[in-house]
Amino acid sequence: MKKKYINSLWILSALFFISSVQAQTKITIENTEDAPVISKHIYGHFSEHLGRSIYDGLYVGEDSPIPNTDGVRNDLIKALKDLQIPNLRWPGGCFADTYHWRDGIGPQEDRPTIVNQWWGDVTEDNSFGTHNFLNLCEVLGAEPYLAGNVGSGTVQEFSNWIQYVNHDAGSPMAKLRKENGKEESWDVKFWGVGNEPWGCGGNMDAEFYADIYKQYATFLTSWDKDAKLYRIASGPSGDDYHWMEVLMKEIPPELMEGVALHSYSVIDWNDKGPASDFTEDHYFATMTEALKMEEYITKHSAIMDKYDPQKKVGLIVDEWGGWYDVEEGTNPGFLYQQNTVRDAMIAGATLNIFNNHSERVYMANLAQAVNVLQAVALTQGEQMILTPTYHVMKMYTVHHEAQLLPVNFESPDYTYNGKSLPAVSISASKKDGKVAISLVNIDSKKENEVELDLGELDVEGMTATILTSDKLQDHNTFENAEKITPEEFKDYKLRRGKLQVTIPPFSVIVLESE
């Protein structure tokens, strides 16, 4: 009897030990010479006239005691430069289809005011306009991405804006620009033809917008065959595959260089949940929505491939990110929310998806740059803090313009309340003889062990950085601005071309070859 009891204990202990050991996930990284290059424009940003995004975010005015360059905060300029921001979208969003660009040029005291009907019904004084934005892009070294007014504008107005910013001389709009102090043109390449026409941009159906787009695109020209415009049609939201089908079928390829996709990680539009004081129910539901990006891009790409097998038209995910209830005591129309480790999980996993689909995804724009939605920076008077999302974007700069290294693996599951999601995501690239690997584990409790086969890549040594914290709800504050920052990571081994990594729960890791 005693012997049986001891044997039973041993068996139970062994079973417990086996169940507690984390199974290792095998990942193969391929060194494929014809793999696509990951466009740096995938790491773009978005700044709309919304809440405190422009005013009190980017722009404080030249007379502000806050150190600034032409009215734009110097601390934010430095932060965005350090992020190697490749492009910046402006002035909207929904605001774009109420914006008339001539209201924002000339002496500031002469500019008319309007009411921002979409975002808080506040007065917009147009003190930040075309010159301010395009000059800022020059300072940042970023490509401007201008969203034109289709909903309440005209073809002539849009065409004149292009002429104003791009035509060197000999036209009325170039003359007007010179009178306003800018002798040389800015040569803006990226132009969005309206925004969300299925909603705030006019409540159109796909067929109607396709016709409107063709009309506008016909008159959007650059006058310089060597500086062709990149015209971006307003595409679908999420899983509206009909919208994509209509645009790809009806718009001739010579009139469209890109088509936009919008997708936010929203649990419920009527009850989005808190930004920082959230439960695991909220977290799992948010990540479920975020990871749908893989399905959306795959299915939209398949439609695009049917009409554009050469992949000449880029998929432009120019609005993405987490969207929650606003912080208590703030204007509901300002969309100000905190940014936690959960947002780092959204950012890391989403960017991995974009990288792995870089044969079709050419550009993406996180919504938004400062003080709105999943911002990379938050400001309060003279203070500015960088968010976990900022740090992920900076860690991933190693992928800019690098050649994709395709990966093959089956992710372990993150299981909660009987439902499962892929716990681990990865993307890899090579540039200038160096390999970069980004890993994300969204599991709220379990670490995950992975083994990466680097045999084809001739990697002899690596360095690594990790972003994580004690709790998913952790975030940087104005009282503790560096609670969450990247740290050196050492829980990995590289032996004979095999890289073994233990990824802690809710963490982002980037490894680089030496």
- Active site residue ranges: 196, 319
424 forms beta bridges with 441
**113 with 122: CB under 8 angstroms?**
no
Q: Which residues contact 280 (CB under 8 A, 6 or more apart)?
A: 416, 444, 472
Q: Distance of alpha carbon 156 from its chain centroid, rounded?
A: 31
228 vs 214: CA distance, rounded Å: 17
Give the C-alpha separation, 370 to 72, whole Å. 12
Report whether 85 contacts 45 (CB < 8 A): yes
How buried is 106 (Cβ within 10 angstroms: 0-12 exposed, 13-18 middle, 19+ buried)?
middle
How far apart (Å, rounded) are the C-alpha atoms in residues 57 and 313? Answer: 34
**Which of left, alpha, beta for 272 (phi over 0: left; psi -120 to 50: alpha)?**
alpha
- Per-residue DSSP letters for 9-69? HHHHHHHHHHHHSPPEEEEEE---TTPPB--GGGGEEE--SSTTSTBTTTB--TT-SS-EE
Q: Are 193 and 220 in contact (CB under 8 A)?
A: yes
